[in-house]
Chain A
Amino acid sequence: MSKQRIVVVGNGMVGHKFIDTIIGNDETKYEVITFSEESRLAYDRVQLSYFFSGKTAEDLALTDAAYYEENGIKFVLNDKVVDLDFDNRNVITASGRVESYDKLVLATGSYPFVPPIPGNDQEHCHVYRTIDDLEDITKSGETSKTGVVIGGGLLGLEAGNALVNLGVETHIVEFAPRLMAVQLDDGGGALLKRKIEDLGVHVHTEKATTEIVAGKTSRYRMNFADGSHLETDMIIFSAGIRPQDELARKTGIPIGERGGIVINNHCETGVEDVYAIGECALWENFIFGLVAPGYQMAKVAAAHMHGDSETEFTGADMSTKLKLLGIDVASIGEVHGKTPGAQSYTYHDEIEQVYKRLIVSADGTKMVGAVLVGDVEAYGTLLQLKLNDMNLPANPSVLILPSSGGEEAAGMGVDALPDTAAICSCFDVSKGDIKNAVAAGCCSMGELKASTKAATGCGGCSALAKQVLDSELASLGFEVKKDICEHFAYSRQELADIIRVKKIKTFSALLDDCGSGLGCEICKPAVANILAAYWNEYVLEDAHVGLQDTNDNYLGNMQKDGTYSVVPRMPGGEVTPDGLIVIGQVAKEFNLYTKVTGGARVDLFGAQLHELPTIWKKLVDAGFETGHAYGKSLRTVKSCVGNTWCRYGVKNSIGFAIDLENRYKGLRSPHKVKFGVSGCTRECAEAQGKDFGLIATDGGWNLYFGGNGGMRPRHGDLFASDLTDEQVRTYVDRIYMFYIRTADRLQRTSVWLENLEGGIEYLREVIINDSLNINAELEAEMDNNVANYQCEWKTTIESPEKLKRFKHFINSDEGDSKLAFKIIRGQRFPLAKEIEITELV
Chain B
Amino acid sequence: MDMTSSNTNWTDICPINDLTPDAGICALYNEQQVAIFLCKQTNSVYAVGNFDPFGEANVLSRGIIGSTEDITYVASPLYKQRFNLATGECLDSEEHKIKTFNVRIENEQVQLKEAS
Q: Do A and B bind each other?
A: yes
Chain A residues within CB distance 8 Å of chain B: 486-487, 508, 517-521, 524-525, 542, 545-550, 553-554, 558, 560-562, 804-805, 808-812, 814, 816, 818, 832-833
Given A554-B62, A562-B58, A562-B59: A520 and B23 interface contact (C-beta under 8 Å): no
B67 lies within 8 A of A810 (CB): no
Residue of A nearest to B66 (CB): A520
A/B interface sample: 29 pairs, CB < 8 A: A517-B69, A518-B39, A518-B41, A518-B65, A518-B67, A521-B80, A521-B82, A524-B64, A525-B64, A542-B20, A546-B21, A546-B65, A547-B64, A549-B64, A550-B62, A550-B64, A553-B62, A560-B57, A562-B62, A809-B27, A810-B19, A810-B25, A810-B36, A811-B13, A812-B28, A814-B28, A816-B33, A816-B58, A832-B57
A542 lies within 8 A of B21 (CB): yes
Interface status of B72 (Cβ within 8 A of chain A): yes
**B23 touches which of A545, A558, A561 (Cβ 8 Å):** A545
B78 lies within 8 A of A520 (CB): no
Residue of B nearest to A809 (CB): B28
Q: Apart from A518-B65, A519-B66, A542-B21, list 15 A-B contacts with CB within 8 A.
A: A518-B39, A518-B41, A518-B72, A519-B65, A520-B64, A520-B66, A520-B68, A542-B20, A545-B22, A546-B20, A558-B78, A560-B78, A562-B62, A810-B25, A811-B28
Question: What's the least CB distance linking B24 to chain A, in Å?
Answer: 9
CA distance A499 to B63 in the complex (A): 25
**A524 touches which of B14, B26, B57, B66 (Cβ 8 Å):** B66
A517 lies within 8 A of B67 (CB): yes
**B26 touches which of A517, A548, A808 (Cβ 8 Å):** A808
Majority secondary structure, A binding face = loop
Chain B residues whose CB sits within 8 angstroms of the CB of A562 once the complex forms: 55, 57-59, 62, 78
Chain A residues whose CB sits within 8 angstroms of the CB of B58 once the complex forms: 562, 808, 816, 818
**B59 touches which of A517, A558, A809, A812 (Cβ 8 Å):** A558
Given A517-B67, A518-B72, A520-B75: A810 and B26 interface contact (C-beta under 8 Å): yes
Question: What's the least CB distance linking B61 to chain A, in Å?
Answer: 9
Interface status of B116 (Cβ within 8 A of chain A): no
Chain A residues whose CB sits within 8 angstroms of the CB of B5 once the complex forms: none
Given A521-B64, A545-B20: A550 and B59 interface contact (C-beta under 8 Å): yes
Question: What's the least CB distance linking A460 to chain B, in Å?
Answer: 40
Chain A residues whose CB sits within 8 angstroms of the CB of B65 once the complex forms: 518-519, 546
Q: How large is the interface on B (under 10, 10 to 19, 20 to 34, 35 or more residues)?
A: 35 or more
Chain A residues whose CB sits within 8 angstroms of the CB of B63 once the complex forms: 521, 550
Question: What's the least CB distance linking A241 to chain B, in Å?
Answer: 54
CA distance A525 to B26 in the complex (A): 21
List 9 tightest A-B contacts by C-beta distance, closest first.
A520-B66, A546-B22, A550-B77, A518-B67, A521-B75, A562-B57, A546-B23, A562-B59, A521-B64
Chain A residues whose CB sits within 8 angstroms of the CB of B59 once the complex forms: 550, 558, 562
Residue of B nearest to A802 (CB): B20
8 Å CB interface, B11-51 against A: 13-14, 18-23, 25-28, 33, 36, 39, 41-42
Chain B residues whose CB sits within 8 angstroms of the CB of A517 once the complex forms: 67-69
**Which of A487, A525, A809, A810 has the most CB atoms of chain B within a 10 A radius of its CB?**
A810
Chain B residues whose CB sits within 8 angstroms of the CB of A518 once the complex forms: 39, 41-42, 65-67, 72
Question: What's the least CB distance linking A814 to chain B, in Å?
Answer: 7
Residue of A nearest to B37 (CB): A546
A805 lies within 8 A of B25 (CB): yes
Chain B residues whose CB sits within 8 angstroms of the CB of A545 once the complex forms: 20-23
CA distance A558 to B25 in the complex (A): 16
Chain A residues whose CB sits within 8 angstroms of the CB of B41 once the complex forms: 508, 518
CA distance A558 to B56 in the complex (A): 13
Chain B residues within CB distance 8 Å of chain A: 13-14, 18-23, 25-28, 33, 36, 39, 41-42, 55-59, 62-69, 72, 75, 77-78, 80, 82
Chain A residues whose CB sits within 8 angstroms of the CB of B66 once the complex forms: 518-521, 524
CA distance A519 to B22 in the complex (A): 11
A519 lies within 8 A of B78 (CB): no
Question: What's the least CB distance linking A307 to chain B, in Å?
Answer: 44
**Which of A520, A524, A547 has the most CB atoms of chain B within a 10 A radius of its CB?**
A520
B68 lies within 8 A of A804 (CB): no
Chain B residues whose CB sits within 8 angstroms of the CB of A550 once the complex forms: 59, 62-64, 77
B62 lies within 8 A of A810 (CB): no
A811 lies within 8 A of B62 (CB): no
B28 lies within 8 A of A520 (CB): no
Chain B residues whose CB sits within 8 angstroms of the CB of A812 once the complex forms: 28
Chain B residues whose CB sits within 8 angstroms of the CB of A524 once the complex forms: 64, 66
**B62 touches which of A519, A558, A560, A832 (Cβ 8 Å):** A558
CA distance A520 to B22 in the complex (A): 11
Chain A residues whose CB sits within 8 angstroms of the CB of B28 once the complex forms: 809, 811-812, 814
**Which of B13, B20, B21, B72 has the most CB atoms of chain A within a 10 A radius of its CB?**
B20
**B77 touches which of A486, A546, A549 (Cβ 8 Å):** A549
Question: What's the least CB distance linking B93 to chain A, in Å?
Answer: 16
Question: What's the least CB distance linking A821 to chain B, in Å?
Answer: 13
**B68 touches which of A486, A547, A809 (Cβ 8 Å):** A486
Chain A residues whose CB sits within 8 angstroms of the CB of B55 once the complex forms: 560, 562
CA distance A521 to B64 in the complex (A): 6
CA distance A557 to B14 in the complex (A): 27
B64 lies within 8 A of A810 (CB): no
Residue of B nearest to A486 (CB): B68
Question: What's the least CB distance linking B82 to chain A, in Å?
Answer: 8
Residue of B nearest to A814 (CB): B28
**A811 touches which of B14, B69, B72, B77 (Cβ 8 Å):** B14
Question: What's the least CB distance linking A830 to chain B, in Å?
Answer: 9
A804 lies within 8 A of B18 (CB): yes
CA distance A272 to B104 in the complex (A): 85
Question: What's the least CB distance linking B20 to chain A, in Å?
Answer: 6
CA distance A487 to B33 in the complex (A): 31
**Which of A550, A561, A818 has the most CB atoms of chain B within a 10 A radius of its CB?**
A550
**B27 touches which of A811, A816, A832 (Cβ 8 Å):** A811
Chain B residues whose CB sits within 8 angstroms of the CB of A814 once the complex forms: 28
CA distance A412 to B41 in the complex (A): 55
A833 lies within 8 A of B56 (CB): yes
CA distance A560 to B26 in the complex (A): 18
CA distance A524 to B74 in the complex (A): 12
Question: What's the least CB distance linking B58 to chain A, in Å?
Answer: 5
CA distance A550 to B62 in the complex (A): 6
Chain A residues whose CB sits within 8 angstroms of the CB of B56 once the complex forms: 832-833
**B67 touches which of A520, A542, A560 (Cβ 8 Å):** A520
Residue of B nearest to A542 (CB): B21
Chain A residues whose CB sits within 8 angstroms of the CB of B72 once the complex forms: 518
Question: What's the least CB distance linking B113 to chain A, in Å?
Answer: 15
Residue of A nearest to B12 (CB): A811
Chain B residues whose CB sits within 8 angstroms of the CB of A525 once the complex forms: 64
